[in-house]
Structure 1
Amino acid sequence: MAEQAEHLKAYHAISHQVELDPSEKNLTRMAQVMEILDHQGLWQLDSRIS
């Protein structure tokens, strides 16, 4: 569960970073994190927490 929480934290952090700086680097990182969330089914966990 701790690893899953870290992925969700990373998503929220990079989302904020993209707001401030929508560079290719940040957008690529966001896509990578989103792929992990998709693959592990963590969107449902995020919606239960939020």
Structure 2
Amino acid sequence: MSSQIIELQQTVQMTVMQSALNLDMVAAVDLLEDLPQQQVAAHLYKGSVIDISL
């Protein structure tokens, strides 16, 4: 009987942990989707004239 209770307790704990992980994953995905789109940084020298004479 006690082994069945221990098994049930472990099953419930695993179910609760899995639910918590799923909620955390959903929250993380929502946060990432809500982030503003990253702007492409202007290239430091592309399209510019650079004097490399020594």
User: TM-score by structure 1 length?
Assistant: 0.40
Greater Cα radius of gyration, structure 1 or 2: 2
Q: Which structure is richer in relative contact order (CA contacts within 8 A, separation 6 or more)? A: 1
More helix by share: 1
User: TM-score by structure 2 length?
Assistant: 0.38
